[in-house]
Structure 1
């Protein structure tokens, strides 16, 4: 590629990039703002910000309350957001980030969605060392006995979680514990509340003895769980503690995916 052609490819309209700072400030703040506050957050003077806001108002990206003078995102910005959200595929958004994370973690890393039988693994990045675990694409994880299942059970609406918990009994498609013990409703409720509080689920030697796992939720724009990001490995190699560097990386990756899917609330990355 010749140098003029490269320069042509890099051409941009600087005023658009400058004005974008005002839109970003409105998005980051999430509430109507005075001109001076909006300009300050965008790193410009009120006199410089005003013409941009006039233009953004004219095309519907921004609107101003006539009574208070506050600026907020306009109707066209809302339409843009809705179209973007409707076209988002959580798995498509997540895969590049998970594939980039896998070699940094070095352990088996998987993504699960809620399938007809329960939480179902749809992507597996194998560990950098030989490990024999019964988790492949298509594997259905127990809601009662796996970290992945616990994440879905903790963040799904209670009636939905109950449906999957009840239907997994006797379902040969579900990977579950070798132990016949089943937690009582009270024990399960306490466990799920604890998982929500800590923002992650741990599985220590269950359902597979000698294998530990960590799992965190991924949310869509409405705060609904759409994916679980799970990593696992042998107890001798895998740090499944809540201050584990593995969990920190899982939290950050899940939070980034959630943000790209439009979620603006708290994520597991906000947990201690």
Structure 2
């Protein structure tokens, strides 16, 4: 009977002087290769593809997949048989995010906004598939919309998505657009928030949407975006970005409520409260000077 190799291996010691190593467990590192392969793929993978991507023989990978599934680091879809990140992986990812200064500053403010404005508030960051909710504060009044932690927002159809389109770097935006639309990517010109991006060497149709690019420039100018009765009828939203020292997007604050009840006026209470909160978060997280919204 072949004994599984769980022997210790030498690995560079984190933070140690060059040449100094510490012992590690080889089987843990092999399992880590499978997790890294799944993360790099950014999509569910079958056992054979996962083993090949992790450079592990299929016969050996099976035992690791069983253990990783038991731990909750991955899970297997019963219908497709493909593996994807599990609940423990999600918890670890959220724990990592919670240590980020901008999100740490934003969480208590999101709860306060939901209470004072009587609406739901979502905090989103840029995930591989698009703007992803990492914190969701529910309103006291019921809201008929299916939003929760992990929801990926549409780039074009939601106020949050359009804010991300307006502030993400062109290359990052191209990647996310390609995943969401499965269409050829485009690169729009940037306003004051970023440098202009040259078109790709072999541009493919469709051509850049001039009207959409104008919308993104308007978002950068006014500092917020609205979604009225869209994408869900009867539900409206206001989204404001939290920007770093170089005008890079840290995260977004989105207030969501019933149309008619949510104040979507440009100088209304919701827009003012979100912009004030975004300025406070940026000042605390990035040590920027708070600016008074116009």
TM-score bracket, shorter-length normalisation: 0.5 to 0.7
- TM-superposition CA deviations, 1:89-135 (whole Å, max 9, x none): 32112112222222111101110011111100011111111111121
Quick one: which of 118, 125, 129 aligns to 2:130? 118
2:284 is matched with which residue?
A: 260
**Preserved CA contact (<8 Å) 2:235 2:257:** yes
User: What is the total number of aligned residue pairs between the two structures?
Assistant: 174
> 1:27-176 residue pairs with structure 2 within 5 A?
88-169=100-181
Write the distance in 2 (CA, Å) between the matches of 1:121 and 1:243: 26
Write the distance in 2 (CA, Å) between the matches of 1:263 and 1:223: 13
| RMSD, aligned CA | 2.3
Q: So what's the TM-score if we normalise by structure 2?
A: 0.55
**Preserved CA contact (<8 Å) 1:218 1:228:** yes
- TM-superposition CA deviations, 1:17-70 (whole Å, max 9, x none): xxxxxxxxxxxxxxxxxxxxxxxxxxxxxxxxxxxxxxxxxxxxxxxxxxxxxx
**Preserved CA contact (<8 Å) 2:236 2:259:** yes
Quick one: which of 237, 240, 244 aligns to 1:213? 237
2:250 is matched with which residue?
A: 226
Inter-CA distance 165–135: structure 2 relative to 1 (3 Å threshold): same
1:61 is matched with which residue?
A: none
Inter-CA distance 183–209: structure 2 relative to 1 (3 Å threshold): farther
Quick one: which of 261, 265, 270 aligns to 1:246? 270
Of the two structures, which has the highest relative contact order with CA contacts closer than 8 Å and spacing of 6 or more?
1
- CA drift at 1:238: 1.1
Find the residue that maps to 1:229 and give its secondary structure: strand
Inter-CA distance 266–183: structure 2 relative to 1 (3 Å threshold): farther
**Preserved CA contact (<8 Å) 1:221 1:261:** no
Q: So what's the TM-score if we normalise by structure 1?
A: 0.59
- Extract unaligned runs of 5+ from structure 1: 1-86, 172-181
Inter-CA distance 108–193: structure 2 relative to 1 (3 Å threshold): same
**Preserved CA contact (<8 Å) 2:282 2:290:** no
Write the distance in 2 (CA, Å) between the matches of 1:261 and 1:89: 5
- Extract unaligned runs of 5+ from structure 2: 1-98, 184-205
**Preserved CA contact (<8 Å) 1:222 1:263:** no
Runs of 4+ deviating beyond 3 Å: none
Find the residue that maps to 1:232 and give its secondary structure: strand
